[in-house]
């Protein structure tokens, strides 16, 4: 009699494929299963979510419920994350209602997923309510709230929660401090941003990444501290990316610093020679300075570059 894999064997195989980033194969295994359980559904939904197949993950969650299965925490956390990334608040609220009815005390992962959902969708009061009701919080729960507050212009409140987080003995990570720097940028707190940035490695034991440098470049650029931003970039242990140089270019345009803008533009075009936005920004800076010959020159360069690329694409497709 041939061997017939049981549901546990199928689930183990699917989990292995998901971990190997072969989600398409995992999905095929799922569809071939003669019998499924909640773990089967949770594995494939989470796998699709991690692979960026967000709509498919949400669709599988709906199908799971239609077929009468009770979602486990893995499926619920995964679909909340997908809803947050898609910005589909109504579906997320539907999942929240299900959690209220089925979970007396949601675990820290569900609470974090709900905070992240509401924060990403701009429902800050709802995010705070869920956060305050959490019986257990980890660094990811705090991050979801702090970053959400910072991204939606509630910088002062984000900083208050950061100080509360540290006072409660929670060790911040790189995401926490990125959120704090964003909060400082949106509220114009340059001195505090400098302190946080300087304390990252010594006080908080968090390695500075490009995203932190990019946020500081944006903050300093907004404040008109272009030379300080340029000096920071010169001292970076890695090459600046488009976020770093883009922050400086935006500051240069705001404060009409032509010389630094030319440097930032050169670096940005080294990274992406086809970025028409960079040419346009530099043309605008030249125009503000009344340097009309340079405006004509940069526009000609853009036309040549973009035109050459489009001509090349046309010759390939015809």
**Interior angle at CA 70, CA 69 and CA 76, nearest 5:** 120
Lowest mean pLDDT among 2-11, 65-74, 280-289: 2-11
Inter-residue contact 155 to 189 (CB < 8 Å):
yes
- Report DSSP letters for 17-78, one per residue: HHHTT-HHHHHHHHHH-SS--HHHHHHHHHHHHHTT-HHHHHHHHHHHHHTT----HHHHHH
Percent helix, strand and coil across the chain, each to the nearest 5: 75, 0, 25
Q: Are 85 and 54 in contact (CB under 8 A)?
A: yes
From the list 237, 311, 309, the residue with the least C-alpha distance to 279 is: 309
- List of residues 6+ apart from 184 with CB closer than 8 A: 155, 159, 190, 192, 193, 196, 219
Instruction: With cut-offs at 50, 70 and 90, classify the pLDDT of residue 3.
Output: very low
In this predicted structure, what is the pLDDT of residue 135? 86
pLDDT for 36 beyond 60: yes
Q: Does position 171 have pLDDT exceeding 90, yes or no?
A: yes
pLDDT tens digits, 179-189: 999 999 988 89
The pTM assigned to this predicted structure is: 0.85
Task: Give pLDDT, residue 290.
Answer: 94
143 neighbors 176 (Cβ within 8 angstroms): yes
Mean pLDDT of the chain: 92
Q: Which architecture characterizes domain 209-311 according to CATH?
A: Alpha Horseshoe (1.25)
User: Domain residue spans in the chain?
Assistant: 8-24+43-70, 209-311
- Whether 265 contacts 282, CB under 8 Å: yes
The answer to whether 197 touches 181, Cβ cutoff 8 Å, is: yes
Mean pLDDT of 6-18: 93
Number of Cβ atoms within 10 Å of the Cβ of 133: 12
Radius of gyration of the chain (CA): 25
Q: Are 61 and 86 in contact (CB under 8 A)?
A: no
**If we measure between CA atoms, which residue out of 185, 298, 176 comes closest to residue 250?**
185
Written as six digits, the tokens of 216 are: 């500081």
DSSP symbols for 197-225: HHHHHHTS-----HHHHHHHHHHHHHTT-
Mean pLDDT (whole number) for 74-101? 95
């Amino acid at each position: 009699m041939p061997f017939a894999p049981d549901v546990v064997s199928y689930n183990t195989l699917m989990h292995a494929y998901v971990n190997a980033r072969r989600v398409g194969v995992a999905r095929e295994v799922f569809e071939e299963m003669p019998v499924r359980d909640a773990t089967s559904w949770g594995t494939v939904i989470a796998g699709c979510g991690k692979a960026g197949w967000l709509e498919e993950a949400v669709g599988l969650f709906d199908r799971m419920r239609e077929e009468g299965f009770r979602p486990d925490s893995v499926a619920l956390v995964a679909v909340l994350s997908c809803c947050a990334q898609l910005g589909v608040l109504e579906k997320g609220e539907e999942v929240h209602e299900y959690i209220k009815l089925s979970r007396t005390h949601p675990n820290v992962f569900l609470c974090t997923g709900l905070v992240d959902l509401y924060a990403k969708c701009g429902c800050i009061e709802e995010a705070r309510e869920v956060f305050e009701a959490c019986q257990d919080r980890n660094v990811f729960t705090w991050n979801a709230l702090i970053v959400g507050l910072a991204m939606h212009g509630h910088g002062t409140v984000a900083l208050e929660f950061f100080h509360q987080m540290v006072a409660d003995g929670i060790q911040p990570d790189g995401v926490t401090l990125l959120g704090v720097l964003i909060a400082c940028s949106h509220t114009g707190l340059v001195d505090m941003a400098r302190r946080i940035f300087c304390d990252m490695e010594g006080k908080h034991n968090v390695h500075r990444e490009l995203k932190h440098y990019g946020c500081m470049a944006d903050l300093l650029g907004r404040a008109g501290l272009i030379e300080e931003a340029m000096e920071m970039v010169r001292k970076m242990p890695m090459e600046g990316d488009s976020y770093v140089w883009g922050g400086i270019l935006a500051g240069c345009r705001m404060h009409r610093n032509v010389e630094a803008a030319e440097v930032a533009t050169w670096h940005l075009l080294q990274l992406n020679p086809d970025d028409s936005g960079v040419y346009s920004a530099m043309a605008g800076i030249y125009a503000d300075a009344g340097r009309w010959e340079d405006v004509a020159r940069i526009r000609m360069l853009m036309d040549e570059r973009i035109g050459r690329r489009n001509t090349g694409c046309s010759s390939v497709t015809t």
